[in-house]
């Protein structure tokens, strides 16, 4: 899944993989992405690496986190915004 030989750092590869899933509609808006524990196993990387990957998607406003709950795909519809964001 992760190419450790190439020049692209794993955290960027993971960010790209998640972005692809989201834009392909595999993980629709409003749904949660896999938990950090699940992604640790799926990608075979450490928490710190996932943290950076998720931070990239956060900066792109693709996902948002709810502490204690999970990381959710943002609803980027015409009216904009996310459920709960007043």
**Residues binding DNA (CB under 7 A):** 9-12, 33, 35-38, 44-49, 51-52, 54, 58, 65-71
Q: Which is nearer to DNA, 69 or 79 (CB)?
A: 69
Residue 55: CB minimum distance to DNA, A: 7
Residue 40's φ and ψ, nearest 5 degrees, are -55, -45
Residue 70 C-beta: closest distance to DNA, Å = 4
Cα(12)–Cα(33) distance, integer angstroms = 17
Any idea what DSSP says for residue 32? B
Q: Which two tokens stand for residue 68?
A: 């204690």
Q: Which is nearer to DNA, 44 or 81 (CB)?
A: 44
Q: Please, which residue, 68 or 78, has the CB nearer to DNA? A: 68
CA distance 65 to 31: 11
């Amino acid at each position: 899944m992760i190419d450790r030989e190439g020049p692209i750092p794993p955290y960027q590869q993971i960010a790209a993989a998640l972005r692809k899933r989201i834009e392909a509609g595999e993980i629709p808006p409003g749904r949660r992405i896999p938990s950090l524990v699940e992604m640790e196993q799926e990608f075979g990387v450490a928490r710190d690496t996932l943290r950076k990957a998720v931070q990239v998607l956060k900066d792109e406003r693709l996902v948002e986190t709810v502490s204690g709950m999970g990381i959710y795909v943002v609803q980027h519809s015409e009216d904009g915004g996310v459920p709960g964001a007043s």
